[in-house]
Structure 1
Amino acid sequence: MSVRTSIATVSLSGTLEEKLTAIAAAGFDGFEIFEPDFIGSAFTPAALAARAAELGLSIDLYQPFRDLDSADADQYARNLVRAERKFDLMEQLGCDTILVCSSPLPGAVRDDDLLAAQLHGLAERAHRRGIRVAYEALAWGTHVNTYRHAWNIVAAVGHPALGTCLDSFHILSRGDDPSGIRDIPGEKIFFLQLADAPAMAMDVLQWSRHYRKFPGQGTFDLAAFGAHVHAAGYAGPWSLEIFNDVFRASATGRTAADAHRSLRHLQEQVAARIPGSTGLFVPPPRPAIDGVVSLRVAAGPERAGELRTMLGSIGFGYAGRHREHQLELWRHGELTVAVDASPDTAWTAPALDAPMPVLSQIGIRCPDPDAWEARAVALEVPAHEVELPGAANRFGERAADVVRLRVTAATSIDLRGPASRAAWREAFEPEPRPLALPPLLTGVDHVALAVRPDDWDGIMLRLRSVFGMRPGEGVDIPDSVGQLRSQSLTMTSGKSVSPLRISLNMVPGCPAGTDHSSTIRRGGVSHVAFTCGDIFATAAELAGLGHRRPAISANYYDDLATRFDLDAEMLRQLREFGILYDADGGGEYFQLFTETVGEDLFFEIVQRVGEYRGQGEVNSAVRVAAHLRSGA
């Protein structure tokens, strides 16, 4: 029997009717009715029950029932009357489980025996009505604020209508150890609520109310949490309860689809923790990749010349032209950049309010693209965002073994099989005398993409679920024109010399629907970083090719001398070539930049020494300032 999926209506934007329609379309089995959503809707209880049945959805939980317990006996009696009225409503809804939260009020019961007695009184009334009570510890509860304490009270009551609700946020936000969940009998876990969240140093109540995310979008170890719950024998729905300001303002259908995908992704992770487990969703495995081999940049006729000049200055040579379209190939060793100079480039950039040029495709060599397609489909990537093998692209090219997966609105990842090389050769007229340039660049270190704030979490989930990418530590980078949020993700697979790394870059605070160019600052956000074996030798060679770099402030190198024990000769070379430097406990990192092409795109050449883990984020503000000066 497969795991049933559910979601709290509070997790989505829109009217209750819109939420239910989106929940059903996304593939959920049921939902939690969040009481304010019902109270504000036009549904009668009977009409809501009928609509849920029409959509094939069960009403899994009525929530929340707050502040049941009270040190004031009269207030407790009034609370029982209030509970009876909710039971009347639940009977009409056809819902048999109610969520009761531990009280955060000053008047909450602070004695376990009295609390157990009050919960027993509620359970007795619920039992007579065929209703179950799921007792949950709020992380900010006055007396009960841990799942162990809540379970101990439930166990002490020992009533068949009383169980516990486990909420990953309330447990993991406190840094609690979830392994004790395995000691709770599965039949006494009446409900499971799941939420991820980014690591934040703030009041837990505000963290909970505004920053919860779907599994795979935050930093909680939900795979370990889910494994403990599954091992305990819990057989009820896996439900999402997400309080998030961005989700509450985003497209309802898209958010619901991301939500359901997140539960599939989580089940795959949990299954990997419990070999031989049954009932969990497991998609086709990730095939191997051989690394980035090509990039396509949509430049249009107005920026193509500038892009050609820039590519030539970092060692790329013109290698051929498409037989029918204004698409050129520029090559350097095994690396290929396709320059799209077509006048109809609006399909990628202006239509998205994004400045050109824009990186439109990342080509990755892969022995089995079909398996990537199967994995994406299983993880419910929308059909219009998966271009299948053999499908003609806008240039009329048909490659029998290329699967194109949309990542951002402007950029896709193309997984290219062995036959694609021949298809490309056939489509292009090669340059008879390609320019012979020294082999300076050895591969692609990382690709950075500009992302809208309202797309951020969905893209993060897609990269983590479909591609299995692992996030590094996100950083907020203040610079000359504001603040940039950057998040790196890494995937190691197959024979690639270096892992696939993608950095997502976002300017926070830009609301959904605003001009995308307002999220991109003069000074660049999107870029491609190529690797080299010797940064100083490469810089010297590029100088002879006409490489133009932004001028790095002399203050930077003065500061560098105080932070690192670098010899005088290295410092001299860093200054001479405008190279930036960083080091961590694992190794060193060298960075050399081009000027920007247009408003946003630039190229970077890097050298990693040892096991350096970052991408030179500490130097971002210096780089932005230099690009701003060079573009002034």
Structure 2
Amino acid sequence: MQHAPTTEDLLATCWTTAGDTAPGQGDGRSALTLRDRAEAAGAAGFRGFGLVYADLVEAERTYGLAGMRSLFEDNGLVHLELEFLTDWWTDGDRRTASDAVRRDLLRAAEALGARHLKVGPDHEDRPWDADAWAGEFAALAAQADGVGARLGIEFLPWSNLKTVHDGLRLVEAAGHPAGGLIIDVWHTERAHTPPADLAGVPGARIVGVELSDADSRVEGTLFEDTVRRRRLCGEGSFDLPGIIAALRATGWSGPWGVEILSDTHRTRPVREAAEVAYRTAAGVLGPAAVR
């Protein structure tokens, strides 16, 4: 079912159309074809699409980068997000592996015209040197800028960057204009960050926003809750209208990412998954967003 588009475009993040896979399940690779996923996202009304590294590798093998770009263009997907780089701050074998992923992501970002690259913090919350991280982030942001993309770091409440404030301190210390934040509202809510704090984030430092919903009570660990029990927008406890208003106050106008991760969502056929994710997110964005 094709819905009326919004003036503020929506982006289907990688997990929203990935089917029966999730972070922490092997390499996270989807069993679905990129064609099926792109067609489902475009038919639902999305104007953006997210792809995790394992799926990028598989899709390039199947279609080539030129074929992938054509698939996105044919389905009206003009905002591309590539993820998820970790260990960009370290050294040794972990850094060697990270740098190989980095090269692939940068090469693909340039060929595909990606809007931004998403990177992560230290999920294990180990001791870290803030100045060294700022330098590494600035260097990586410069590389992203060199291929025409921005760089966004996603803070996570169980990591060394737990809140939007922690993330903002890093990107401001790094100082590169191409660097900024991915603000996932699941993480801001679980870190108990009020919407008013989001309104204070400089608009130039917001690279991406991700919408979802959840129950008020966390079940299991934060990681388990975020990958198994997210709800569709408007079907949980989050004050999404207040959060959206706060983000709009920064000047943010999209694309709004929609990241639905749950045991329930993974069982939906991809067309249904894309359609319900788009419809519910467009609903909380409100009638003012509809053309």
Report the TM range for the smaller structure's normalisation: 0.7 to 0.9
Highest CA radius of gyration, 1 or 2? 1
Q: Which residue of 1 aligns with 2:54?
A: 36
Q: Does 1:265 align with 2:265?
A: no
Alpha-carbon distance between aligned partners in 2 of 1:212 and 1:147, rounded to the nearest angstrom: 20
Q: Which residue of 2 aligns with 1:6?
A: 11
Q: What is the SS of the residue equivalent to 1:138?
A: coil
Alpha-carbon distance between aligned partners in 1 of 2:127 and 2:200, rounded to the nearest angstrom: 26
- What one-letter code is carried by the residue in structure 2 that aligns with 1:121? A
Conserved 8 A contact 1:67-1:104:
no
Alpha-carbon distance between aligned partners in 2 of 1:11 and 1:101, rounded to the nearest angstrom: 19
Q: Which residue of 2 aligns with 1:92?
A: 111
- Of 244, 266, 290 in structure 2, the residue corresponding to residue 281 of structure 1 is 290
Alpha-carbon distance between aligned partners in 2 of 1:200 and 1:44, rounded to the nearest angstrom: 44
Q: Which residue of 2 aligns with 1:227?
A: 245
Alpha-carbon shift at residue 24 of structure 1 (Å): 1.0
**Structure 2: which 5+ runs fail to align?**
1-5, 20-31
Conserved 8 A contact 1:33-1:59:
no
Q: What is the SS of the residue equivalent to 2:263?
A: coil
Give the alignment of 1:459-498 within 5 angstroms. none
Alpha-carbon distance between aligned partners in 2 of 1:36 and 1:84, rounded to the nearest angstrom: 14
Alpha-carbon distance between aligned partners in 1 of 2:195 and 2:88, rounded to the nearest angstrom: 26
Conserved 8 A contact 2:86-2:98:
no
Q: Which residue of 1 aligns with 2:74?
A: 54
Quick one: higher RCO (CA 8 Å, sep 6+), 1 or 2? 2
Alpha-carbon shift at residue 33 of structure 1 (Å): 1.6
Alpha-carbon shift at residue 18 of structure 1 (Å): 1.5
Task: Judging by fraction of residues, say which structure has more strand.
Answer: 1
Alpha-carbon shift at residue 39 of structure 1 (Å): 3.2
Alpha-carbon shift at residue 222 of structure 1 (Å): 1.2
Alpha-carbon distance between aligned partners in 1 of 2:141 and 2:118, rounded to the nearest angstrom: 12
Q: Which residue of 2 aligns with 1:204?
A: 222
- What one-letter code is carried by the residue in structure 2 that aligns with 1:170? H
Deviation track 1:73-104 (CA, whole Å, cap 9, x = no partner) reads 77546634531231012222221310011121
Conserved 8 A contact 1:194-1:241:
yes
Cα separation, partners in 2 of 1:109 and 1:235, compared to 1, 3 Å: farther
Conserved 8 A contact 1:194-1:238:
yes
Deviation track 1:307-358 (CA, whole Å, cap 9, x = no partner) reads xxxxxxxxxxxxxxxxxxxxxxxxxxxxxxxxxxxxxxxxxxxxxxxxxxxx
RMSD over aligned Cα, in angstroms?
Answer: 2.2
Q: Does 1:162 align with 2:200?
A: no
Give the alignment of 1:281-300 within 5 angstroms. 281=290
Alpha-carbon distance between aligned partners in 1 of 2:66 and 2:138, rounded to the nearest angstrom: 30
- Of 99, 102, 125 in structure 2, the residue corresponding to residue 83 of structure 1 is 102
Tell me the TM-score normalized by structure 2.
Answer: 0.85
**Structure 1: which 5+ runs fail to align?**
272-278, 283-632
Q: Which residue of 2 aligns with 1:135?
A: 153
Conserved 8 A contact 1:116-1:157:
yes
Alpha-carbon distance between aligned partners in 1 of 2:93 and 2:75, rounded to the nearest angstrom: 42
Q: Which residue of 2 aligns with 1:111?
A: 129
Conserved 8 A contact 1:68-1:103:
no
Alpha-carbon distance between aligned partners in 1 of 2:142 and 2:54, rounded to the nearest angstrom: 26
Alpha-carbon distance between aligned partners in 2 of 1:44 and 1:63, rounded to the nearest angstrom: 18
Alpha-carbon distance between aligned partners in 1 of 2:33 and 2:99, rounded to the nearest angstrom: 30
Tell me the TM-score normalized by structure 1.
Answer: 0.41
Q: Which residue of 2 aligns with 1:329?
A: none
Percent identical: 25
Alpha-carbon distance between aligned partners in 2 of 1:79 and 1:238, rounded to the nearest angstrom: 28
- What one-letter code is carried by the residue in structure 2 that aligns with 1:43? Y
- Of 87, 93, 102 in structure 2, the residue corresponding to residue 67 of structure 1 is 87
Alpha-carbon distance between aligned partners in 2 of 1:84 and 1:96, rounded to the nearest angstrom: 16
Task: Judging by fraction of residues, say which structure has more helix.
Answer: 2
Conserved 8 A contact 2:80-2:115:
yes
